[in-house]
């Protein structure tokens, strides 16, 4: 299945049903009168986060969604049927943005969260609604109100506890394969990973977390160089970043600085997240190169640096334990926070108004017999 993390769709809620003008006139009934019913409500458009989806590919080829109109009213003061809602199912972590692609409308970050993105129109009133003691035979009925319509953007940000960052060919896919059951593509050339990959890391029977691997960053990624920084959104929700530096290259300090600068230019708090710095490809370094490069990287970063080899598995358990400890603390802090209130979508500007539909003055109420005028 192709990975798609962004889609633009058009939604249109159902219009309200029309009210009707009808009069009651039955044999042996002394008093007749207006009994036109109201129209039914149009269907809403909802977006719901469900389990089991990890891509927006369903909205690549189906981009228009429209709910049905509410039923029209009828005589005998019968209200039209309300239309069913249309529910768009999206992966957990999907954000809904307005047409400008900047205004965040809702963030569906948990299974079962749903939001009404377009409200259906209310049904119009029938002439029975306008009956008063001074207006006993109203000939007025309203058309249903139009439903909301809008263009929205769906943007997926994968839910992961830890994120892998680094230059291309730093060994991120190899590390993900060594730490989890994921089987990403691995090759000896840059940009092997073209789409984000997820893997579940199990430390023991009771501890596990999700690790996300994104395509490598290069200098100028924030300006669109290489694959750009469009996939960095998938590690925005991570509690910790695992920064892998290729230890087989002669200048690991410059490689670390390049990625850090790209994270800072991207913003969204990525540069401020906790970072576990790892010098990878331990099996490809001599003891002298390992010592010198480790010392230089620790001096530049100002904190301890771990060593590992994704190919042989050496040092991988220690790295995973360091990630697991930070993830556990972040989960405890998140559990203490109050639940987020349900998202409220501002209503779109209506495209029209209910229309008053008077009957011709020459029509006689006695000539109408439970029918719509």
**What is residue 330's predicted lDDT score, i.e. its pLDDT?**
86
For 234, phi then psi, to 5°, come to -80, -10
Q: Give pLDDT tens digits for 229-275.
A: 667 777 888 888 888 888 888 888 898 888 888 888 888 788 888 88
Which are the contacts of 59, defined by CB distance < 8 A and separation ≥ 6? 4, 7, 9, 88, 154
> Binding residue per annotation — 280?
yes
**What is residue 11's predicted lDDT score, i.e. its pLDDT?**
93
> Binding residue per annotation — 171?
yes
> Binding residue per annotation — 83?
no
Tokens standing for residue 212 = 């996300």
In this structure, are residues 20 and 60 in contact, taking their beta carbons and an 8 Å threshold? Answer: no
How many Å apart are CA 278 and CA 266, to the nearest integer?
Answer: 22
Per-domain residue ranges for the chain?
6-156, 162-336
251 DSSP 8-state letter: -
How many Å apart are CA 12 and CA 87, to the nearest integer?
Answer: 12
> Binding residue per annotation — 307?
no
> Binding residue per annotation — 168?
yes
> Binding residue per annotation — 283?
yes
Q: How far is CA 254 from the centre of its chain?
A: 36
> Binding residue per annotation — 204?
no
What is the average pLDDT value for the chain, to the nearest integer? Answer: 82
Taking the domain 162-336, which CATH number applies?
3.40.50.300
> Binding residue per annotation — 166?
yes
pLDDT higher than 90, residue 66: yes
- How far from 359 is each of 20, 102, 114, 125, 201, CA to CA, in Å? 11, 47, 43, 14, 71
Look-up of token digits 């930070």: 326
> Binding residue per annotation — 311?
yes
How many Å apart are CA 305 and CA 118, to the nearest integer?
Answer: 51
DSSP 62-74: --EEEPPPPPP-B
Q: Give pLDDT tens digits for 48-62.
A: 999 888 888 889 888
Q: How confident is the model at residue 223 (pLDDT cuts 50, 70, 90)?
A: low
Mean pLDDT highest for which of 227-231, 265-269, 294-298, 355-359?
Answer: 294-298
> Binding residue per annotation — 4?
no
Taking the domain 6-156, which CATH number applies?
2.70.210.12
Q: How confident is the model at residue 227 (pLDDT cuts 50, 70, 90)?
A: low
Instruction: List strands edge to edge, sheet with 149-156.
Output: 64-66, 6-12, 149-156, 94-97, 104-108
> Binding residue per annotation — 66?
no
**What is residue 366's predicted lDDT score, i.e. its pLDDT?**
37
Which are the contacts of 69, defined by CB distance < 8 A and separation ≥ 6? 14, 15, 16, 17, 42, 83, 144
> Binding residue per annotation — 170?
yes
pLDDT higher than 50, residue 352: no
> Binding residue per annotation — 281?
yes
How many Å apart are CA 266 and CA 205, to the nearest integer?
Answer: 37
In this structure, are residues 224 and 218 in contact, taking their beta carbons and an 8 Å threshold? Answer: no
> Binding residue per annotation — 343?
no
How many Å apart are CA 16 and CA 330, to the nearest integer?
Answer: 47
């Amino acid at each position: 299945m192709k990975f798609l993390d962004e889609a633009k769709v058009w939604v249109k809620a159902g219009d309200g049903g029309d009210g009707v003008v009808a009069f009651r006139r039955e044999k042996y009934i002394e008093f007749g009168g207006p009994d036109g019913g109201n129209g039914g409500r149009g269907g809403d458009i909802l977006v719901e986060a469900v389990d089991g989806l990890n891509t927006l590919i369903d909205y690549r080829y189906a981009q228009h969604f429209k709910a049905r109109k509410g039923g029209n009213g009828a005589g005998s003061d019968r209200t039209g049927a309300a239309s069913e809602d249309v529910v768009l199912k999206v992966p957990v972590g999907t954000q809904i943005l307005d047409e400008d692609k900047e205004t965040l409308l809702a963030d569906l970050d948990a299974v079962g969260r749903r939001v009404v993105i377009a409200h259906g129109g209310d049904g119009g009133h029938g002439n029975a609604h306008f009956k008063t003691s001074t207006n006993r035979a109203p000939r007025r009925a309203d058309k249903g109100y139009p439903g909301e319509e809008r263009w929205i953007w769906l943007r997926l940000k994968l839910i992961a506890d830890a994120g892998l960052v680094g230059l291309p060919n730093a060994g991120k896919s190899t590390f993900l394969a060594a730490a989890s059951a994921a089987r990403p593509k691995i090759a000896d050339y840059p940009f092997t990973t073209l789409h984000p990959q997820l893997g579940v890391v199990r430390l023991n029977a009771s501890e596990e977390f999700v690790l996300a691997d994104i395509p490598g960053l290069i200098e100028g990624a924030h300006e669109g160089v290489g694959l750009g920084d469009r996939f960095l959104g998938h590690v925005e929700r991570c509690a910790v970043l695992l920064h892998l530096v290729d230890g087989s290259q002669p200048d690991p300090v410059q490689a670390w600085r390049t990625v850090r600068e790209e994270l800072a230019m991207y913003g969204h708090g990525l540069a401020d997240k906790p970072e576990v710095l790892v010098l990878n490809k331990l099996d490809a370094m001599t003891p002298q190169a390992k010592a010198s490069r480790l010392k230089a990287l620790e001096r530049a970063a100002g904190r301890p640096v771990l060593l590992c080899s994704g190919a042989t598995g050496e040092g991988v358990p220690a790295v995973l334990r360091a990630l697991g400890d930070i993830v556990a603390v972040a989960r405890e802090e998140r559990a203490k926070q109050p639940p987020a209130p349900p998202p409220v979508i501002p209503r779109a500007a209506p495209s029209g108004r209910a229309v008053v539909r008077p009957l011709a003055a020459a029509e006689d109420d006695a000539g109408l017999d439970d029918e719509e005028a």
